[in-house]
């Protein structure tokens, strides 16, 4: 049997049927109960005309039925299309038109996002009617054993211009989630707190890790700091993933100092860099191990890790805290000069390319975009600017499209952001390039101050000049109440440019 979602659940249900698998809002399902519920879900999909190769879309906030449907679709060979409920009705309509699902499942928020008069396919809404329909189905497993190259999930990229692209993730690619669980020290005894949205690879991918390892997953509807502080000691959570913005919010909550976080073994962070100052605060406050994870939707999740052994700010490897780590054993990396296609020597910035069996099958119904992203030899062009050191550690600079060219010099916003994140009054910062009459572009820093703190533009510019070449330093600073972010916590640089480019 292949290492599909369905087959791994079948094995865990047979071996650990009574063990807790999934908890949500105080209700816990065992592996046997999850196996039965997902089989009923699979049979319900079949009664609605869904068959192998069809797509089933889900437009909902996090809920236990989400995991049930990941397994249910896999049990009949269908593909689950996970949709971002934070998009507009227009965007959802365009994506549904592209995905062409046989069935759409929604919660109350998702129902409100469907286009007016939507009749493309049947719609089921979670709630009493859905549960009655599912309960009426037999809990016998349909028994489908999917091939390695069949598409298990389609996740749509955020898409800054044009229609988002549907990333096709195969059974084989997602099977590496079980290997990642081992790399993260997860076992049958682990308890994983999952707050990332399940339409994101950091949700449905990382969120599946402990479950696939036979451990216990505690699911949250969304990020809520007081609830996180409550759930960790209540369920003796051992693992979790947070983006740096959530870590910062957690540390800025006074209650965390009194909370019992002693069960935490590993906090993984990613999606954006964590500055040295924030990392040191997190280590002191939470007292657990930390790991930096780098990956993307197209790679079915994490491909590079910086392990806990490198997270001692005073240790011999402290310089590697600016790195996101080295490639996992089944991943090959290159840093390439994108205009010539030649490999860059150690220490020279280029575009990060990767090759792995985790890699997407391609973009759904978009062969042109697929051909641009996956080039000869099966190498995927990440679009991230990075360099490798002599030992293969990856040092990310930024997205190439976010690079600022000022007076002919290349400036990477992440360099400036890392410096400003060390300022004691700054809570958050994002840097973009804006037009400049003389230099073409110049860095603009958009700063969110900590509550009750003050700073001037001149103060902050002077602060950066103590650590950076002057041409890299921002020439303007704007103060904001918050920064625009997507569901994964990444800064929305296009939105920042829309807001601030026209200001002088």
The DSSP result for 36-63, as a single string, is HHHHHHHHHHHHTT--TT-EEEEE-SS-
| Residues in contact with 462: Cβ distance below 8 Å, sequence separation at least 6, in sequence order | none
Q: What is the pLDDT of residue 315?
A: 84
319 falls within a domain: no
The C-alpha atoms of residue 185 and residue 182 are separated, in whole angstroms, by 5
333 falls within a domain: no
> How many other β-carbons are positioned within 10 Å of the β-carbon of residue 448?
15
The C-alpha atoms of residue 144 and residue 124 are separated, in whole angstroms, by 23
Domain C-terminal end among 156, 178, 200? 178
438 falls within a domain: yes
> Which residues on neighbouring strands pair with residue 353, listed in sequence order?
334, 381
Q: What is the pLDDT of residues 472-497, one digit of tens each?
A: 899 999 999 999 987 667 778 888 98
Of 137-146, 243-252, 473-482, the poorest mean pLDDT is in: 243-252
281 falls within a domain: no
Q: What is the pLDDT of residues 291-325, one digit of tens each?
A: 999 999 999 999 999 999 999 888 888 888 888 99
Q: What is the pLDDT of residue 407?
A: 66
- β-strand 216-219 against 191-194: which pairing, if any? parallel
299 falls within a domain: no
The C-alpha atoms of residue 72 and residue 274 are separated, in whole angstroms, by 37
Structure confidence at residue 272 as a pLDDT band (50, 70, 90): low
Longest dimension (CA), the chain: 71
CB 394 within 8 A of CB 333: yes
Domain C-terminal end among 131, 155, 178? 178
The CATH number of whichever domain residue 412 belongs to comes to 3.30.300.30
First to last CA, the chain: 62
- Of 295, 218, 200, the closest CA to residue 64 belongs to 218
Q: Domain of 57?
A: 5-19+28-178
- Tally of structural domains, the chain: 2
What beta strand segments (E) does 341-498 contain?
Answer: 342-343, 350-356, 362-363, 374-375, 379-388, 394-399, 404-406, 409-411, 426-436, 440-449, 476-479
Domain C-terminal end among 163, 178, 193? 178
- β-strand 79-82 against 379-388: which pairing, if any? unpaired
407 falls within a domain: yes
The C-alpha atoms of residue 389 and residue 324 are separated, in whole angstroms, by 12
The C-alpha atoms of residue 234 and residue 345 are separated, in whole angstroms, by 50
The H or E element containing residue 233 is helix 225-235
> Which residues on neighbouring strands pair with residue 345, listed in sequence order?
none
Q: What is the pLDDT of residues 22-67, one digit of tens each?
A: 999 999 999 999 999 999 999 999 999 999 999 999 999 999 999 9
Query: pTM of the predicted model, to two decimals?
Result: 0.84
Mean pLDDT of 170-178: 97
Residue 277 has pLDDT above 80, yes or no: no
CB 71 within 8 A of CB 47: no
CB 152 within 8 A of CB 171: yes
48 falls within a domain: yes
> Which residues on neighbouring strands pair with residue 446, listed in sequence order?
430, 478
124 falls within a domain: yes
Q: What is the pLDDT of residues 391-450, one digit of tens each?
A: 999 998 766 567 787 866 668 787 788 889 889 999 999 999 988 877 778 999 999 999
The CATH number of whichever domain residue 61 belongs to comes to 3.40.50.12780
The DSSP result for 240-309, as a single string, is EEE-HHHHHHHHTSGGGGTS--TT--EEEE-SS---HHHHHHHHHHH-SEEEEEEEEGGGTEEEEEE-GG
**What is the average pLDDT score of the chain?**
92
- Of 177, 258, 265, 271, the closest CA to residue 223 belongs to 271
């Amino acid at each position: 049997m292949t290492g599909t979602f369905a087959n791994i659940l079948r094995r865990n249900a047979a071996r650990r049927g009574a063990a807790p698998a999934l908890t949500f809002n105080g209700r816990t399902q065992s592996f046997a109960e999850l196996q039965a519920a997902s089989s009923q879900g699979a049979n319900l999909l079949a009664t609605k005309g869904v068959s192998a190769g069809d797509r089933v879309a889900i437009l909902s906030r996090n809920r236990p039925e989400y995991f049930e449907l990941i397994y249910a679709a896999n049990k009949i060979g269908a593909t689950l299309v996970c949709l971002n409920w934070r998009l507009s009705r227009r965007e959802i309509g365009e994506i549904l038109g592209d995905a062409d699902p046989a069935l759409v499942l929604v919660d109350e928020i998702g129902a409100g996002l469907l286009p007016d008069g939507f009749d493309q396919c049947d719609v089921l809404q979670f709630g009493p009617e859905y549960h009655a329909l599912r309960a009426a189905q037999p809990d016998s497993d349909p028994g489908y054993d999917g091939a390695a190259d069949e598409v298990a999930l389609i996740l749509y990229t955020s898409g800054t211009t044009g229609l988002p692209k549907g990333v096709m993730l195969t059974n084989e690619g997602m099977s590496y989630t079980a290997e990642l669980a081992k790399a993260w020290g997860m076992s049958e005894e682990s308890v994983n707190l999952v707050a990332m949205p399940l339409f994101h690879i950091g949700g449905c991918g990382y969120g599946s890790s402990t479950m696939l390892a036979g451990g216990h997953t505690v699911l949250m509807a969304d990020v809520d700091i007081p609830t996180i502080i409550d759930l960790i000691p209540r369920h003796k959570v051992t693992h979790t993933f947070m983006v740096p913005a959530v870590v910062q919010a957690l540390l800025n909550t006074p209650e965390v100092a009194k909370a019992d976080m002693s069960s935490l073994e590993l906090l993984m962070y990613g999606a954006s860099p964590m500055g040295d100052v924030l990392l040191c605060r997190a280590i002191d406050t939470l007292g657990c191990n930390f790991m930096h994870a780098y990956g993307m939707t197209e790679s079915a999740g994490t491909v590079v890790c910086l392990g806990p052994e490198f997270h001692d700010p005073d240790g011999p490897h402290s310089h590697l805290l600016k790195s996101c780590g080295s490639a996992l054993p089944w991943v090959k990396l290159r840093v390439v000069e994108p205009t010539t296609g030649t490999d860059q020597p150690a220490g020279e910035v280029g575009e990060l390319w990767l090759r792995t069996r985790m890699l997407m099958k391609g973009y759904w119904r978009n062969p042109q975009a697929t051909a641009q992203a996956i080039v000869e030899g099966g190498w995927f062009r990440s679009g991230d600017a990075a360099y490798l050191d002599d030992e293969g550690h990856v040092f990310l600079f930024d997205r190439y499209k976010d690079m600022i060219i000022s007076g002919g010099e290349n400036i990477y916003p992440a360099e400036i952001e890392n410096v400003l994140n060390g300022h004691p009054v700054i809570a958050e910062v994002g840097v973009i390039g804006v037009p400049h009459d003389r230099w073409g572009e110049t860095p603009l820093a958009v700063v969110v101050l900590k509550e009750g703190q003050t700073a001037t533009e001149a103060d902050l510019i002077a602060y950066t000049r103590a650590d950076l070449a002057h041409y890299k330093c921002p020439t303007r600073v704007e103060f904001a109440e918050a920064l625009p972010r997507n569901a994964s916590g990444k800064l929305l640089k296009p939105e920042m440019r829309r807001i601030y480019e026209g200001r002088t």
